[in-house]
Amino acid sequence: MSDLEKLKNALLTFALIKVKRNDFDDSFDYDSFVGDKLPTPSGMSTSNACFRYMSENVSESKRGEKRKIAIEKYLDKNFDSTEKVLVFFTDFLEEICKE
């Protein structure tokens, strides 16, 4: 994965945290995910959590592989049209402008 791809993933993770905070589930069930919720990101800082969330290293463990699949299902389900992507981006801009 290139550095640019890592940056894109980190920025998408940050945007998801800002806009879709209610879609993150602290008690995420890795055995029955359907794309409605996301596992909670974790790390020593926001930057660390964002860069690790969709990184290629998550697939090194069985749980990491499940997390990667769960995130992909969520993205496939919630960003499957141009309209959904544009609404998400507009919501993100509104959230950022509040700060």
Alpha carbon distance 50, 78 (integer Å):
19
Percent over 70 (pLDDT), the chain = 95
Alpha carbon distance 8, 46 (integer Å):
15
Two tokens, residue 22: 């209610």
Distances from the Cα of 83 to the Cα of 17, 25, 32, 74, 86, angstroms:
20, 25, 28, 16, 5
pTM for the structure as a whole: 0.88
Alpha carbon distance 94, 41 (integer Å):
22
> How high is the pLDDT of residue 57?
63
| pLDDT over 60 at 58, yes or no | no
> How high is the pLDDT of residue 83?
98
For residue 37, the enclosing domain spans: 3-98
Averaged pLDDT for residues 48-62: 78
How many domains does the chain fold into? 1
Alpha carbon distance 44, 54 (integer Å):
16
| pLDDT over 70 at 36, yes or no | yes
